[in-house]
């Protein structure tokens, strides 16, 4: 049997903080190559990525797994009660950065795939796409792997992303879509002056306050069939002005929007620019806007793929999983342009936290779920 717990520990001990590879993909390439997978490093822009395939290239039945080995920084190491990259096990729980998000998920699907092709070689292909840039800008990670696949004629018929998806209990949630995400930065430029003579200045602060109030007070929508209502959060406002007798010349702010399938990044960008222009005209100042769209909303409608995963989850956990689109973004937002995609993984309560950890039993359980998915898909 291929031990996913040992593989998880080996991966945690690789300090692969984005964008450092840290030895994690080197380890996986060796593990998969020895099991008969054809492996290719698809590095781009200083980011390490790994493509691995067992079976015939371009086969009509090609099941894919996607995941990442990069992790967020440990933060204040003194706050940890264990070594962040030690993979220490205490009372059936493994600790370490990436234990939940998501080296255990990668270990589980890699171990399941290796055992499956060894014991019951399928009529088809299994493809693993593993990136080192999910926690970063995600410009040269899964997108680079998908570009490589397009160029080389590689194809997944369906894909499962192994991100932690369960909020409370193992098996309670599958992600069938994600909200879109975008951030807008605003700079209001006025005229600096003495606070005792405000008529001689153009104060950017009331302008920014008006703009932020307009944006935050606006109801974007009431939700759709598979999505909650879209949200806009004001995440910063700043002048950098320590003096109380000076009206500053500039004020900056930013908002983050998580949006459902009733919007696109372009339509929301148009709205933000229109609101900024109206406030600028009202006050007679300059408002500059910069927008970054991190991902569009998407949905894999409930059907064959979500049913396949849900049956395996229920068989191994006894829980009927909820089909959800909640949470942040993931690399599924890129995979959805290639093939149908859903996400299923561990309980994610400790991801990105100090003393991030995973129950050892859950790693075995996740491997069994992934193995059952493969058996059922190729049955």
- Each residue's pLDDT tens digit, 268-317: 999 999 999 999 999 999 999 999 999 999 999 999 999 999 999 999 99
Give the distance from CA 64 to its chain's centroid: 17
Domains 4-178+297-378 and 180-295 share a fold: no
| Residue 127, H or E segment | strand 125-131
Taking the C-alpha atoms of residue 305 and residue 302, their distance in angstroms, rounded to an integer, is: 8
Q: Which of 159, 67, 131 is nearest to 104 (CA)?
A: 67
Q: Which of 67, 65, 83, 66 is nearest to 15 (CA)?
A: 83
Tell me what pLDDT residue 327 has: 87
Domain boundaries, the chain: 4-178+297-378, 180-295
Q: Which of 142, 134, 131 is nearest to 24 (CA)?
A: 131
> pTM for the complete prediction?
0.91
Tell me what pLDDT residue 32 has: 98
Tell me what pLDDT residue 58 has: 87
Residues 214-235: tens digit of each pLDDT = 999 999 999 999 999 999 999 9
Tell me what pLDDT residue 132 has: 97
CATH architecture of 180-295: 2-Layer Sandwich (3.30)
CB 332 within 8 A of CB 90: no
CB 231 within 8 A of CB 215: no
CB 173 within 8 A of CB 341: no
Residues β-bridged to residue 178: 298
Q: Which of 74, 89, 58, 227 is nearest to 154 (CA)?
A: 58
Two tokens at 17?
């903080």
Tell me what pLDDT residue 328 has: 85
Active-site residues: which are they? 70, 134
Tell me what pLDDT residue 293 has: 95
Listed as ranges, residues in the chain with pLDDT below 70 are none
Tell me what pLDDT residue 70 has: 98
CATH number of 4-178+297-378: 3.40.630.10
């Amino acid at each position: 049997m291929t031990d996913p717990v040992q593989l998880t520990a080996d991966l945690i001990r690789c300090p692969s903080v984005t964008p450092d590879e840290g030895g994690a993909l080197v380890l996986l390439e060796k593990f998969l190559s020895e099991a008969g997978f054809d492996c290719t490093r698809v590095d781009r822009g200083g980011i390490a990525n790994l493509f691995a395939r067992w079976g015939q290239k371009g086969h009509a039945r090609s099941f894919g797994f996607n995941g990442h080995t990069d992790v967020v920084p440990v933060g204040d190491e003194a706050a940890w009660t264990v070594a962040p990259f030690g993979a220490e096990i205490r009372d059936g729980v493994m600790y370490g950065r990436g234990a939940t998000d998501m080296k255990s998920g990668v270990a589980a699907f890699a171990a399941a795939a290796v055992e499956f092709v060894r014991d019951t070689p399928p009529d088809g292909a299994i493809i693993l796409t593993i990136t080192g840039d999910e926690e970063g800008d995600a410009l040269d990670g899964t997108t680079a792997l998908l570009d490589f696949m397009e160029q080389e004629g590689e194809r997944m018929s369906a894909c499962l992303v192994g991100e932690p998806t369960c909020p409370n209990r193992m098996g309670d949630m599958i992600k069938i879509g994600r909200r879109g995400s975008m951030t807008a930065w605003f700079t209001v430029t006025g005229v600096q002056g003495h606070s005792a003579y405000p008529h001689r200045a153009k104060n950017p602060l009331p302008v920014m306050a008006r703009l932020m109030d307009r944006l935050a007070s606006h109801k974007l929508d009431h939700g759709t069939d598979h999505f909650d209502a879209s949200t806009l959060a004001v995440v910063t406002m700043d002048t950098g002005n320590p003096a109380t007798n000076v009206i500053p010349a500039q004020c900056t702010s930013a908002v983050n929007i998580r949006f459902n399938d009733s919007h696109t990044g372009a339509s929301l960008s148009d709205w933000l620019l229109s609101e900024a222009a109206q406030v600028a005209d009202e006050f007679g100042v300059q408002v500059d806007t910069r927008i970054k769209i991190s991902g569009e909303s998407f949905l894999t409608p409930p059907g064959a793929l979500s049913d396949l995963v849900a049956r395996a989850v229920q068989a191994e956990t006894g829980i009927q999983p909820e089909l959800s689109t909640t949470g942040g973004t993931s690399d599924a937002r890129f995979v959805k342009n290639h093939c149908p995609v859903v996400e299923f993984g561990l309980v994610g309560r400790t991801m990105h936290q100090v003393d991030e950890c995973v129950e050892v039993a859950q790693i075995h359980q996740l491997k069994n779920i992934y193995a059952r998915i493969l058996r059922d898909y190729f049955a």
